[in-house]
Amino acid sequence: MPARRRTDPAAGREALSRWRSDPAAADRTTTATAVRASLEELAERAPGHSVEVRVAPFGVVQCLEGPRHTRGTPPNVVETDAATWLGLAVGDLRWADAVSAGRVRASGSRADLSALLPLVPAGAA
């Protein structure tokens, strides 16, 4: 079953577009909407519960098929900040570069999201 969207897709695209045009000028609401919409897109494209993606303080989602965790810290976790996540989502930042720079903390054998990013085609956000 696909993840339930809580963010209107049109509002999410608009927030991503505003964020991408000037990340430094994006307000908290724009950033939060862009993060939540992109996390929901990830969960829709890669449904499952084997990896938890955390973008504090704005959202968390589980994705990718595989073993499901039910208690405690999941074995496969991706953690990053909003600016890094959105850079990855729109293709302004490469996964490998973000990981090597320490901007993404990915633990577990399934925590590599490089094949799923970017979420937004070039020029679409």
For 19-58, what is each residue's pLDDT tens digit?
999 999 999 999 999 999 999 999 999 999 899 999 999 9
Nearest to 64 by CA among 55, 75, 56, 73: 75
* pLDDT of amino acid 3: 55
Residue listed under structure tokens 């729109």:
90
Mean residue pLDDT of the chain comes to 91
Whether the model clears a pTM of 0.85, i.e. scores above it, the answer is: yes
Euclidean distance between CA atoms 79 and 8, whole angstroms: 24
